[in-house]
Chains A and B, each alone.
Chain A
Amino acid sequence: MTAMQLWRSVLSKDLRLAARRRSDAINPLIFLLMVITLFPLGVGPGPDILARIAPGIIWVAALLATLLGVDRIFKDDYADGSLEQLCLLPQPLAFTVSAKMVSHWLLSGLPLVILSPLLALLLSLPTSAYGALSLSLLLGTPALSALAAIGASLTLPLQRGSALISLILLPLFIPLLIFATSAVESAGMGMAVHGQLAILAAISVLTVTLAPLAVAAGVRMSVN
């Protein structure tokens, strides 16, 4: 069996399990939608204020929603011993855990990208910024999933690791937040956004390629 076939098996098993336990995957999205719909009620529906803070709200909500779903990446596999078995496969662990990162992105990052026009509409973002918002989410969320997997792998043996995960991850999320919101704001003002998007893409490429190594090390340490 080639490593690629195994990678696909890990991914499709993960997606199958998520389909059986939909609430786990949907919870963060509902949280996100609630935050976005509550903001206009809280700060008032005036479109100028909303449009001004919309990029920040959407991205902060996306970060918090990611944090909400971090546990899901490895917790069950750790509890029932599947993670041990992944460590015992002849294929490199870094490769197999990358399949779990991809499944996390498919279930948390991709829906965000798809929902982004709706979120923008709810917060009356200028239409010129719609494209930049979707692109910033498309380029930024893979990095979120990769970083989330690192945090999750490090805190596996802890019973109540969520607080620690947040502390580990939030500083790492900040550069993404700064460049992503800046891209959306610039787009709203009709300025070029290539620079910020390129940096987002660079961060994603860096984390997505290197994170599996860190995750594999974290998982081995936790399973030990």
Chain B
Amino acid sequence: MKHKTTEPLPRLTAHELSSVRGGRTLFEQVSFEVHAGELWQITGANGAGKSTLLRMLAGLMPSHTGRIEFNNHSIQYDRSAYHQQLLFIGHKPAVKAELTALENVYWQRRLSGDHRATQDSMDDWSLLETIGLLGLEDEMTGRLSAGQQRRVALTRLWHSQAPLWILDEPFTALDVKGIALLEQRFSEHLSQGGSIVMTSHQALSLASLNPQQLHLGEAYANAMGVA
């Protein structure tokens, strides 16, 4: 690992993380550094521990060994400051089936700390237009298709101010257009100095994203050379 002095401080640093579940070691000695403007794609077989790693990075789960630092502070040290900078979208979409798409967006905004959020606001409408759900805004989210529900969850990527995104399989259930839209948004975020850590089984098609790869599993040691 070489470091030039001019290089900016790493935003998120993972030192020798490991996970043991039910007596089985999922991964060990995983270390990497995420800088501003970088996208990290974590790959690996089913059950390799990708989601576990992301949950550790988000601070939802402790690592058995090692430590995670954000801007050189352990994420446990000031959890509140870390979570202010973080947007995490996990497997579960955190979308309420009993609310309409528009209401879901509204509550997402309010709970993510946007106190200017008002019900039925223009911002929410234009967000739904961006994500391609215009015309379905009054439908109960539970009655939308899996891909449309995913889109409702992903609207958070458009209104969030957080520089660090941790996304677990964001492309699940999305169609080709949806994936292109999402990659476009990733590219915008990276160019504004944001960083993204995500898992995905599919290769990213947008060249400007230039993902750093991290492979969990037996091939992990080799992948480190590439990164």
Interface residues of B in 162-193 (CB under 8 A from A): none
Q: Are B58 and A13 in contact (CB under 8 A)?
A: no
* Interface residue stretch chosen among B8-16, B81-89, B127-135, B215-223: B81-89
Q: Are B98 and A20 in contact (CB under 8 A)?
A: yes
Given contacts A6-B113, A9-B107, A21-B98, contact A90 B60 (CB under 8 A): no
Tell me the minimal C-beta distance from B12 to chain A in angstroms.
15
Q: Are A88 and B83 in contact (CB under 8 A)?
A: yes
Q: Does B26 contact A (CB under 8 A)?
A: no
Residues on B with beta carbons closer than 8 Å to the beta carbon of A13: 107, 110-111
Q: Are A92 and B80 in contact (CB under 8 A)?
A: yes
Interface digits, A156-199 against B, CB 8 Å rule (1 contact, 0 not)?
00000000000000000000000000000000000000000000
Q: Does A43 contact B (CB under 8 A)?
A: no
Considering only CB atoms and an 8 Å cut-off, how many residues of chain A contact the other chain?
A: 27
* Interface residue stretch chosen among A74-82, A113-121, A143-151: A74-82
Residues on A with beta carbons closer than 8 Å to the beta carbon of B123: none
Q: Which of the residues A5, A17, A223 comes within 8 Å of B99, measured between beta carbons?
A: A17
Q: Are B99 and A81 in contact (CB under 8 A)?
A: no
Q: Are B113 and A90 in contact (CB under 8 A)?
A: yes
Tell me the minimal C-beta distance from A17 to chain B in angstroms.
6
Q: Which of the residues B88, B96, B113 comes within 8 Å of A17, measured between beta carbons?
A: B96
Interface residues of A in 59-83 (CB under 8 A from B): 76, 79-82
Q: Are B90 and A84 in contact (CB under 8 A)?
A: yes
Q: Does A91 contact B (CB under 8 A)?
A: yes
Interface residues of B in 76-109 (CB under 8 A from A): 80-81, 83-84, 86, 88, 90-99, 103, 107
Tell me the minimal C-beta distance from A166 to chain B in angstroms.
27
Residues on B with beta carbons closer than 8 Å to the beta carbon of A90: 80-81, 83-84, 113
Residues on B with beta carbons closer than 8 Å to the beta carbon of A9: 107, 110-111
Q: Are B96 and A80 in contact (CB under 8 A)?
A: yes
Tell me the minimal C-beta distance from A26 to chain B in angstroms.
15
Q: Are A88 and B60 in contact (CB under 8 A)?
A: yes
In Å, the complex CA distance between A80 and B149 comes to: 12
Q: Does A87 contact B (CB under 8 A)?
A: yes
Given contacts A90-B83, A92-B80, A224-B61, contact A85 B111 (CB under 8 A): yes
Which A residues are within 8 Å of any B CB, using their own CB? Answer: 1-2, 5-6, 9-10, 13, 16-17, 20-21, 76, 79-82, 84-92, 223-224
Closest 4 A-B residue pairs measured CB to CB?
A81-B92, A81-B94, A20-B98, A1-B113
11 contacts between A and B (CB under 8 A): A1-B114, A2-B115, A10-B111, A13-B110, A17-B99, A81-B91, A81-B93, A88-B83, A88-B88, A89-B113, A92-B80
For the A-B complex with A13-B111, A76-B96, A88-B59 known, give 15 more contacts whose Cβ atoms are closer than 8 Å: A1-B114, A5-B115, A6-B110, A9-B110, A16-B99, A16-B103, A17-B96, A20-B99, A80-B93, A80-B96, A81-B94, A82-B94, A90-B80, A91-B80, A224-B55
